[in-house]
Structure 1
Amino acid sequence: MTGFFIAIGFLTRLPVPQMGAFSIERLAQSMRWFPLVGVLIGVIVAGAAWLGARVDPWTGALAGLIVWVGITGALHIDGLADLTDALGAAHRDRARLLTVMSDPHIGSFGVVAIGLQLIAKLVLLHAVIEKGAWIALALIPFAARIGPLAWAHWLTPLQEGLGAHFTKAIRARDLIGWGAVLAGATVFCPALIAAPLLMAHFGFWLQLRLGGISGDCHGAGIELVETGLLLALILTLL
């Protein structure tokens, strides 16, 4: 379970026991546990939304969103902002795009992306809460975190570093195993059928537009897949 605790420490702000000396290899191998961390995130987010909804659906949506951002430390939404800044500032120059993406400062494009993403999740959470789809809501972060495993196995890292180690750490059996779990989860949330389509679409777009993937792209992909699955869930509940 060491890898699971390392994955919790990487993806969330939750306290975890000390796992010994840090290494890039151990962190990369922990990626196999990302979907299970997603289950933990989903249960906590759904619980917060349920408690807030005891007041009214908008309070529930706000509580769920605050916990969603807080528990992840805004890690993934930061990746979305960095990717958006890079696309906006250097959409025709790949070298410039990579430079902007690695810049820790946020620009106007990133600010707009963060604002739109938070508004989208708030509105979609409200709709999900009104339908009382608590189990489905808890499963969405799980499904979205299968994406990084698929993208790491499939796409070329844009830069040397952690992304390259992720590529080597993911095995075909990891994808097959989590894919089977995802298929089983569709019994409780049929909207999760959209997850592979959303992941594939984002992966193909990255390959065509950037020629590979980076850590920021992984974060952006998780955010976009989560939002896409919230929308798919609402559509299946109409």
Structure 2
Amino acid sequence: MRPFWLALGFLTTLPTPHLGEVREGEMRAASAFYPLAGYVIGGILALVAWLGRGLPPGLEGALLLAAWLALTGLLHLDGLLDSADALLAMKPVSERLRILGEVHLGSFAFGVGFVLLLLKWQLLSAAPSPWLLLCLPALVRFALLLPMNLYPPARPEGLGARAREGRVGLALLFTLPAIVGFPLEALATLLGMLGLARWAAARLGGGLSGDVYGMLVEVGETLGLLVFLIKP
């Protein structure tokens, strides 16, 4: 159970048993359980959606968005904001990597963050299926493992670098129910995240960082919601 608790503690703000120091290779093993952590997030979101039935759509969407951000401790949103400042800057690769490590936010971060949160709120206000809310976080966290293993770390000292080369096959097994339930969303999310990862890697000299992983999660979740609502 230790790899699961590590994954849950890394990806969420939910309480987990005290695990002490993370040993060599444990984050790599924990990455296989990212989809299970996604199901936990999704289960709570589905519960919030069920409890919020009957509320004005805008309010229900806002509550879902607030719960989503709270469950992840804004971890992925922070990555999106930092990535926006770095990747959109007309700077050399070395300068973009430096910007990724800064704590200050620039105009790109505010613009991209505002648009994504507004879009995600609107999509959640359209009352997506609770089953999608359950499955989408798992789909996205499985899809995240592919660019994590395809591209080298842009900053080898980060936690994201320690999660590379994990057991993708086991993660796929955990994700299969979500893929079967929402195949179109799964395909669109995977292709969208891979395409965005390829662009980000080109902007960062060939590698990806933990901030970029966070950006991929935020964009993947938003893309999955969008595809669900516009598909025939």
The answer to whether the superposition gives a TM-score over 0.5 is yes
Higher helix share: 1
Contact 2:77–2:214, Cα closer than 8 Å, also in 1: yes
Distance 1:61 1:24 in 2: 41
Specify the alignment match of 1:226 in structure 2. 221
Q: TM-score, normalised by structure 1?
A: 0.88
Specify the alignment match of 1:124 in structure 2. 123
TM-superposed CA distance for 1:87, in Å, is: 2.5
Alignment of 1:4 with 2:1, yes or no, is: no
Q: Secondary structure at the match of 1:49?
A: helix
Alignment of 1:140 with 2:123, yes or no, is: no
Specify the alignment match of 1:14 in structure 2. 14
Choose from 181, 197, 201 the match for 1:188: 181
RMSD: 1.8
TM-superposed CA distance for 1:102, in Å, is: 0.6
**1:15/1:28 CA distance change after superposition, 3 Å:** same
Count residues in correspondence.
229
Could you tell which deviates more after superposition, 132-141 or 24-33? Answer: 24-33
Contact 2:189–2:224, Cα closer than 8 Å, also in 1: yes
Contact 1:49–1:62, Cα closer than 8 Å, also in 2: no
Specify the alignment match of 2:67 in structure 1. 67
Q: What letter is aligned with 2:190? A: P
Superposition map of 1:1-238 within 5 A: 1-23=1-23, 25-88=25-88, 90-127=89-126, 129=127, 133-161=129-157, 162-167=159-164, 169-170=165-166, 174-190=167-183, 191-210=185-204, 211-236=206-231, 238=232
Distance 1:164 1:181 in 2: 22
Q: Secondary structure at the match of 1:157?
A: coil
TM-superposed CA distance for 1:33, in Å, is: 1.1
TM-superposed CA distance for 1:57, in Å, is: 2.1
Identity %: 33
Contact 2:136–2:178, Cα closer than 8 Å, also in 1: no
Distance 1:101 1:8 in 2: 25
Superposed structure 1 runs of 4+ greater than 6 Å apart? none
TM-superposed CA distance for 1:10, in Å, is: 1.0
Q: TM-score, normalised by structure 2?
A: 0.91
**1:118/1:15 CA distance change after superposition, 3 Å:** same
Distance 1:209 1:180 in 2: 33
